[in-house]
Structure formats: C-alpha cells, structure tokens
C-alpha cells in the first residue's frame, strides 16, 4: 500500500470515529430532580412557618403570664417550674425551699409505706373509700366535688386557649380582661372545692399518711443561707414540729406546697 493510500485510510477511520463518538450533552433535569427541589422548597417554607408560629406562641404565652403576674399562686408555680426552687427574704435572712432530690423522695416513700401499714392495722382508721361512702350516706357526695373540680379544670383550660387565641388576634383589652376575670374565678372555685374536699377527708387513712410525709418533706427541703452555704432551717425534725405558727412558717409551707404537691400526688397514687 502506497503512502498516499495509507494516509487516505487513516483519514477515513478518523472521520468514522468522530461520527461514532458520543457527543457530550448537558444533563437534563429529570422528574425526580424537580420533585426533590420542590420538596426542599416545601421544607424550607414549612420551617419558616413553624418558626413564625413558635415566635407567635412564645409571645402569646409571655402575654398570658404578664396578665396573671398579680396572681401569686401562678407566679410561684412559674418560678418553681423554671428553677426547681423558690428563694425569698424574711427578717433580714435569705431562705429557700427546693425540689426534693432522688434520695429524699426514696426516704419519704419508705416513711409513707411504713406508716400506711401501721395505720392499716388500726381498725379505727377509715380508708378514703369508706369515708366517702359514709359521707354519701349522710348526704355529702365527695365524688360530685371531684366532678365539679374536673369540670372547672377543663373550663379553665378552654378559657386559657381562648385567651391565647384572642391575644393572637389582637382582640381589644376589654375582651382579654373578661377572659382573665373568668379564669381567676375558675381558679378560686377550684381552690374552694379542693379545701372543702380536704376538710372532709382530713381523717382518712390516706390523708393522715400524706400529711405526715408532707410535713417531713417541708422540713427536708427548707433551708436558710448562712454566708454562701445553704443549711437546714430546722436542724431536727422535732424542732420543725414544735415550731410556733408565724409568718416564716406560713411562707415556707405555702412555697413548699408548690414544689412537693406533685411528688406527693404521684406517690399516693400507688395506694389508690
């Protein structure tokens, strides 16, 4: 083969390879790619929506708290929830009541079980269910009081929800004040019924156990600040039991109630 023919063949092969070689094309956007992008956009929009809703809800919750800042019970509960303690001044000294720790709760539970078993052996001690039955025979229905408390609690929750919605909708102050008034009345009614129930069940076995442990927990979680150190306000439990009623004891008892009531209710449920 001559040199000229060889060059011709090479050119023909090069042309064929050039024709057969796949051309590079820009990738086309597929349906999956579009769906992914749409999903990302929806997620971003949803995140913004959630963030906006959270901001509105936080602002609403803050407004509700401000409206009830003059209600001491609610203010104390909020403080206890945030800090697990309530610090206050009395007679130039700093005091606090705090949440019981795990070991203290365990000790309280042992004390509760021991006393419960002891009283259960006493034939003169009536269980709550027996006392309820006895009261009902005399025309006083404690079960009905429970129903009233539950109904008022549900009403209170609905009023709080409606108040929150009214705040979001920028309703006039007179309307917001009306909700506040109804909620306050609801709280007072629940407190009144709870006191009535407590008085009726004062001598039940369960209440005697609860009050004994309640007193022990108040003594346990009550402290006074000495320098930079927190110490027990009453060194001995007997000192607490023998203390005379005064403003300090009243304040400690009231504040401790906020912190330990939930623990007591949870533990007493074991005996129901």
The residue whose two tokens read 């042309």 is 15
The phi, psi pair for 229, rounded to 5°, reads -115, 135
By mean pLDDT, which of 31-35, 193-197, 198-202 is the weakest? 31-35
User: CA 7, CA 19: separation in Å to the nearest integer?
Assistant: 19
Residues sharing a CB contact under 8 Å with residue 132, sequence separation 6 or more, in sequence order: 142, 143, 201
**Tell me: the pLDDT tens digits for 84-129?**
888 889 989 999 999 999 999 999 999 999 999 999 999 999 999 9
pLDDT in tens, 12-29: 544 454 444 455 544 555
Per-residue pLDDT, 58: 62
Instruction: For 242-260, write each residue's pLDDT tens digit.
Output: 988 899 999 898 888 878 8
Q: Where are the alpha helices (DSSP H) in the chain?
A: 3-20, 31-67, 72-83, 102-120, 128-137, 142-168, 173-200, 205-221, 237-241, 247-268
> What is the rounded CA–CA span in Å between residue 53 and residue 44?
14
* Predicted pLDDT of residue 145: 96
Question: How many whole angstroms separate alpha carbon 35 and alpha carbon 207?
Answer: 63
Q: Is 218 in contact with 253 (CB distance < 8 Å)?
A: yes
Task: Give me 77's structure tokens.
Answer: 């509960």
3-state secondary structure of 92: coil
pLDDT of 79 > 70? The answer is no
C-alpha 47/C-alpha 225 separation (Å) is: 47
Q: What three-state secondary structure class fits 222?
A: strand
């Amino acid at each position: 083969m001559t040199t000229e023919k060889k060059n011709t063949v090479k050119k023909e092969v090069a042309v064929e390879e050039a024709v057969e070689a796949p051309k590079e094309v820009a990738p086309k956007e597929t349906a999956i790619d579009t769906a992914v992008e749409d999903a990302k956009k929806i997620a971003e929009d949803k995140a913004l929506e959630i963030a906006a809703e959270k901001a509105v809800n936080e602002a609403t919750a803050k407004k509700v708290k401000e409206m009830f800042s003059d209600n001491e019970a609610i203010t104390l509960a909020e403080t206890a929830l945030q800090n697990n303690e309530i610090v206050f001044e009395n007679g130039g000294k700093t005091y606090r009541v705090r949440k019981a720790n795990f070991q203290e709760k365990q000790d309280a539970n042992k004390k509760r079980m021991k006393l419960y078993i002891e009283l259960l052996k006493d034939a003169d001690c009536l269980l709550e269910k027996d006392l309820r039955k006895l009261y009902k025979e005399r025309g006083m229905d404690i079960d009905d009081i429970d129903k009233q408390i539950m109904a008022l609690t549900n009403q209170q929750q609905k009023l709080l929800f409606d108040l929150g919605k009214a705040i979001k909708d920028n309703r006039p102050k007179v309307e917001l004040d009306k909700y506040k008034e109804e909620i306050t009345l609801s709280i007072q009614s629940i407190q009144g019924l709870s006191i009535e129930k407590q008085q009726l069940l004062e001598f039940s076995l369960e209440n005697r156990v609860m009050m004994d442990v309640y007193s022990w927990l108040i003594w346990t979680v009550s402290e006074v600040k000495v320098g930079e150190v927190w110490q027990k306000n009453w060194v001995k439990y007997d000192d607490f039991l023998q203390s005379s009623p005064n403003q300090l004891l009243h304040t400690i008892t009231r504040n401790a109630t906020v912190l330990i009531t939930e623990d007591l209710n949870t533990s007493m449920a074991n005996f129901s």
